[in-house]
A and B are shown apart, each in its own frame.
Chain A
């Protein structure tokens, strides 16, 4: 009985860990409750999106994470735009480039986190030299200078973002009764810059009285208040270049036309009744948050926001953001892996089945996430690097589930849970670039070819990776269980089968790519890096198969070669992009290049090394028999 109770304990532990990650996700402590605010729609990077998505991608840009101190991105954004002074103190900037921080004369933070207040203070002291650096050509800057400029521009952008709504915040008041009466405002009540623009006729009349005054002339209290007011308005006006937040809907064609930032419309132009209505709506929403010190005002704001919104598709995106399908899916993949280990340790069929069930649940969540993306973007889920990673992960798990359903010997479980987890993690690191739903350049903007060529070749990546992974299993089995040759032989057989499927998808995908090229710009094959990358995988798989057919590669040689396939996939998938971007670009791609390098070297060492060890061991075992 004793082993059973330990078993139970282990399983419940695993479950606790898994569910903890699901349930304990989103708790946060914050005075800010953005609530309905997240539903507002903005135009950003060529498409309409909920403010929630915008906030996440903005926060990713500065903080490298889509939440900050357990606080939602949208709450951060709201605070930044309505109560910037408090927000400036938060350590939002995640800066890993030490040279840039030292270049600003700041001390290094152990967590590499800095507040805007710190940065702006340091920047102000070095304004001139920084401007000179910006003027310098990109090629002439040193690496450290490049990082410094990037940080400087980032800080400027942050400042502009924080000032997006200042024209609609009711924080200017008139204390002089005479002046207030002259322009038709209440004494002491807060008004917005936009509202002052409305009464600029009356203001101009008042200002007229100041004309011709000399230095030292007596000034009435009303006039003094007027001067004061004009100064306040001028300070506001300095924010007019803050035009990142395109939140004002244009009249008519909303998907195609360009939206406006509030400050764009506040440049003194004649507003159309439509524009005025939209600005007033926004103003009311902003006022609700401003008045209540950023507390929960959902009930007040909700109907307002709903009135502003009419776009159905974006609701799906809000749900997608909230549901976090891929994060939940990885929990189940990890759980499936842990359960599988348990089932190995206790040779329990029951736990093995549980592991399979967990893999299927993870897969289903993965699928729903993909379907949501297809629905939101209206295109196949394979058009950016991030999307392809998520999709390839899904293909791997799909194949593994089929494998497991056919064989029931946990091979599929092992491959699927490991691959699903690994690719999700890679995907998360790529989603740190910002909004993962990007618009495409003209040549890619074709659902037909995305749906045929790109989909096929991406499936090909997934299948080729699966074949490579099974070959890894083969090598591991032979290393760890040299006596169990039959296990290894089974893995070999499976890897050969999947390899054939991989040849189908990669070959067909590559040719379809050529046909797309022929259809779109008139040549089937042009030896450009992307095409060559795809050909690299095809050629490698063909070499492996024909080597086996020609008798040049035996079971072990075949498996070693097949275990090297992930290298060709990684080169075609990531390496080619590096070649195009340039190996010397700053920041992000440096990391990719290093990771790619370690991955390739690691894979090569593992495959060739284990091949050699197995070979050597077999020889040594055979030697005594000969004598």
Chain B
């Protein structure tokens, strides 16, 4: 007792933070989150469940979420490695394993904060130089007047909410967000509205509805209040995701398009789809293999490099990786859908799995024979 007392409070805290008990209780909590977060995917879909239980600091108000739980584990592991790792031969295996785990959690952190992912549909014969986020939205004002390029001003998700005001020096009008809904149905107005409604809003209105299980199927919609347009066209406008033809307006003698769309990430190069091929198991509709033959086109020099992207064989260029994700068949026209990932943490699991594998093997070789053998005198 006296020895424990003589230790400073700081050392006692450090000792507690390094103890397996912290892991024991945190892991139990993570297990609860894991079960709840998996089962609710049945109703909420993967994206929402992940946001609520795994990628959150807190869930159900004040209870710790997955991210907090894993952070606690990370701290626990760090303290364990510093303060609670006796350097004995018999412990080498566990030491190596725990270091590997630390790396894995660190990689998770990098992935959570420094990675982007999205999809990139390219029709055969065409090319694209951006990919779009699966879920996150952006609002774009596009000045179409320059002859050889479009001047695009983009507003991120903070502006996409009811009551926000969108304005910028690059365009002479202001946009007030009357209402924003994450998932809407488009309903025809009968008869068409005349007073105060413009563009698509004259013939259509949007009705909010429940979120889809598959989050990317949701179609977001906004009702906007535009002020400062030419020709007395001020008033209510309607934009929604996946609009075939963007809403155009005139202000200051120039034409602009306004769009609510999936957030776009520009690539420093473009990709051109030469040919998409799909193979099926003979006599069935089950795909056995699909692949895209593409050109990677350097933006500066225009140099082309031909690459085949197929299932399990992605294309890596600069920081980006392109995977064969899906395809759209529309009669004779084929469109490939590539998944694009830019991830600073992507090498961590590779390194850490090797480390953990070695560590665990070491531990097993040292410990298991002893445990399985019959005790003496048996």
Contact = CB atoms under 8 A, between A and B. Distances in A.
B151 interface: no
Contacts of B50: 526-527
Contacts of A503: 360
Given A497-B372, A579-B38, A449 B350 contact: no
B20 interface: yes
A160 to B, nearest CB: 16
Interface in B328-378: 339-341, 343, 346, 349-350, 352-353, 356-357, 360-361, 363-364, 367-368, 370-375, 378
A508 B100 CA distance: 12
A521 B339 contact: yes
A527 B372 contact: no
Contacts of B370: 497
A552 B23 CA distance: 11
B371 A507 contact: no
A46 B373 contact: no
Nearest to B281: A46
Nearest to B321: A522
Contacts of A524: 107, 111, 346, 349
Contacts of A490: 374-375, 378
Contact of A579 (B42, B111, B311, B349): B42
A445 B311 contact: yes
A553 to B, nearest CB: 9
A99 to B, nearest CB: 26
B64 to A, nearest CB: 15
A16 to B, nearest CB: 35
Contacts of A504: 357, 360-361, 364
A259 B284 CA distance: 11
A507 B360 contact: yes
B287 interface: yes
A529 B281 contact: no
B340 A522 contact: yes
Contacts of A549: 20
B39 interface: yes
A439 B279 CA distance: 13
Contacts of B375: 486, 489-490, 493
B301 interface: no
Nearest to B278: A442
A512 B281 CA distance: 27
A493 B283 CA distance: 54
A441 B312 CA distance: 13
A398 B34 CA distance: 32
A519 B20 contact: no
A229 to B, nearest CB: 34
Given A522-B321, A539-B34, A406 B54 contact: no
Interface string A403-418: 1001111000000000
Given A442-B289, A519-B312, A552-B24, A494 B54 contact: no
B21, B41, B111, B281 interface centre (most CB from chain A within 10 Å): B281
A576 B290 CA distance: 27
B289 A445 contact: yes
Given A523-B341, A550-B20, A246 B108 contact: no
Contact of A449 (B284, B287, B312, B341): B312
A543 B108 CA distance: 21
A233 interface: no
B282 A522 contact: no
Nearest to A531: B38
B114 to A, nearest CB: 14
Given A258-B282, A493-B375, A515 B24 contact: no
B367 A500 contact: yes
B288 interface: yes
A507 B101 CA distance: 10
Interface in A522-576: 522-529, 532-533, 535-536, 539-540, 542-543, 546-547, 549-552, 576
A257 B109 CA distance: 48
B28 interface: yes
A448 B39 CA distance: 31
A504 B19 CA distance: 22
A127 interface: no
B286 interface: yes
B221 to A, nearest CB: 26
A439 B288 contact: yes
Contacts of B374: 406-409, 490
B37 A511 contact: no
Contacts of B363: 500
B27 interface: yes
B356 A522 contact: no
Contacts of A440: 288
A501 interface: yes
A512 B117 CA distance: 21
Given A407-B373, A579-B39, A543 B282 contact: no
A508 B349 contact: no
A527 B49 CA distance: 9
Interface in B284-311: 284, 286-290, 311
B353 A43 contact: no
B24 A550 contact: yes
Given A43-B283, A552-B24, A522 B360 contact: no
B323 interface: yes
B30 interface: yes
B228 interface: no
Interface string A424-443: 00000000000000011111
A522 B341 contact: yes
Contacts of A579: 38-39, 41-42
Contact of A539 (B30, B281, B361): B30
Given A442-B287, A446-B312, A521-B339, A552 B117 contact: no
A271 interface: no
Contacts of B367: 497, 500
Contacts of A494: 371-372
Contact of B283 (A46, A409, A536, A540): A46
Interface of A: 43-47, 246, 255-259, 403, 406-409, 439-443, 445-446, 448-449, 486, 489-490, 493-494, 496-498, 500-501, 503-504, 507-508, 511-512, 514-515, 518-529, 532-533, 535-536, 539-540, 542-543, 546-547, 549-552, 576, 579, 583
Would you list the 6 A-B pairs with minimal beta carbon distance, nearest first?
A: A46-B281, A497-B371, A522-B341, A550-B20, A550-B21, A511-B353
26 contacts: A46-B280, A439-B288, A441-B288, A445-B288, A486-B375, A504-B360, A511-B104, A511-B356, A515-B349, A515-B350, A518-B349, A519-B312, A522-B117, A522-B314, A522-B323, A522-B339, A528-B46, A535-B34, A536-B34, A539-B31, A543-B28, A546-B20, A549-B20, A551-B21, A579-B41, A583-B42
